[in-house]
Amino acid sequence: MAYDHIPLDDEFKALAAFDWGADAAPLAKLDAAVIACHGDAALTADLERRFGEIVTGKASRAAKEYACRKLSMIGTAASVPVLAPRLADPAESHMARFALERIPVPAAGDAIRNALGSVSGDLAIGMISSLANRRDAASVKPLAALLGGDAKLAAAAAVALGRIATPDAAAALAAAKPQAGPVADAVIDARLACADAFLAAGDREAASTIYRSVAATVGDAPKTHRSRAVRVAAQSGLLACLDDTVAP
């Protein structure tokens, strides 16, 4: 459906009253407007403001979810204050994060990182997941701080550090000394991810240091599929570090 520059008042009214199962025809016009606003700063700002009003208003969960999806496409720093307070609400956290994760301004990352300090449990894992997807280097410190705590958070934080894969992240992972179990596994996965990233960037020495260290964790005769796979990862990584006939 093409956007024909109508005022969209009726459509936003319909969205404010929208719920699952209702007539979705008005939403198609909003979809079109979001596509059409590309390169039109004024229209984008207007749409962003109005979707923000849905998010902060008394609309249904379905309507807010819809608005968050749209903000994920056109949201700017202006949407961060709208979305950030939702991160702590179990019913709205994911969709607020859905939008924030995609908004390519530092303030969006700041908001998610800040929320990490104020939420717990699954909501915190959600923040960690989004920080990982943003490869948010500024999050290394708070993520590293989680490695020694709650097991689920620690495992998620380890995975995120592996995705971020900076030298700081690798150092934090190397310093973690989790007991055997899911956290230890996640740390190993993350360390391998860091090593692979270093190797790909041409830092064979840093990579081989990690591969060797990881290989040591699985012992001489790993017997489980998991530990054998880890050994394969470390061994092939070490070979790749030595073999400079192949570009990293």
Q: Which is nearer to other proteins, 10 or 244 (CB)?
A: 244
Among 128, 147, 184, 194, binds other proteins (CB under 8 A): 128
Size of the site for other proteins (CB under 8 A): 78
Stretch that binds other proteins, among 45-53, 78-86, 122-130, 170-178 (CB under 8 A): 122-130
Q: Which of 14, 111, 116, 123: binder of other proteins (CB under 8 A)?
A: 123
Residue closer to other proteins (CB basis): 7 or 221: 221
Longest dimension (CA), the chain: 70
Q: Which of 93, 173, 187, 191 binds other proteins (CB under 8 A)?
A: 93
By CB under 8 A, the residues from 148 to 207 that bind other proteins are 152, 156, 159-160, 163, 185, 189, 192-193, 196, 204-205
Q: List binders of other proteins among 15-74 (CB under 8 A).
A: 20-22, 24, 27, 31, 35, 38, 62, 65-66, 69, 72-74
Which of 29, 64, 97, 113 binds other proteins (CB under 8 A)? It is: 97
Where does this chain touch other proteins (CB under 8 A) — which range of 4-12, 46-54, 118-126, 140-148?
118-126
Q: Could you tell me the smallest distance in angstroms from the CB atom of residue 226 to other proteins?
A: 5
Question: Closest CB to other proteins among 27 and 55?
Answer: 27
Which of the ranges 7-15, 77-85, 166-174, 220-228 carries the binding residues for other proteins, by CB under 8 A?
A: 220-228
Q: Does 139 bind other proteins (CB under 8 A)?
A: no
Residue 215 makes contact with other proteins by CB under 8 A: yes
Task: Give the angle 14-56-97 at the CA atoms, nearest 5°.
Answer: 105
Within 224-243, the residues that bind other proteins by CB under 8 A are 224-233, 235-243
Mapping DSSP onto H, E and C, the string for the chain reads CCCCCCCCHHHHHHHHCCCCCCCCHHHHHHHHHHHHCCCCHHHHHHHHHHHHHHHHCCCCHHHHHHHHHHHHHHCCHHHHHHHHHHHHCCCCHHHHHHHHHHCCCHHHHHHHHHHHCCCCHHHHHHHHHHHHHCCCHHHHHHHHHHCCCCHHHHHHHHHHHHHHCCHHHHHHHHHCCCCCCHHHHHHHHHHHHHHHHHHHCCCHHHHHHHHHHHHHHCCCCCCCHHHHHHHHHHHHHHHHHHCCCCCC
In whole angstroms, what is the distance from residue 68 CA to residue 57 CA? 13
102 part of the interface to other proteins, by CB under 8 A = yes
Q: Which CB, 8 or 162, lies closer to other proteins?
A: 162
Q: Is 144 in the site for other proteins (CB under 8 A)?
A: no
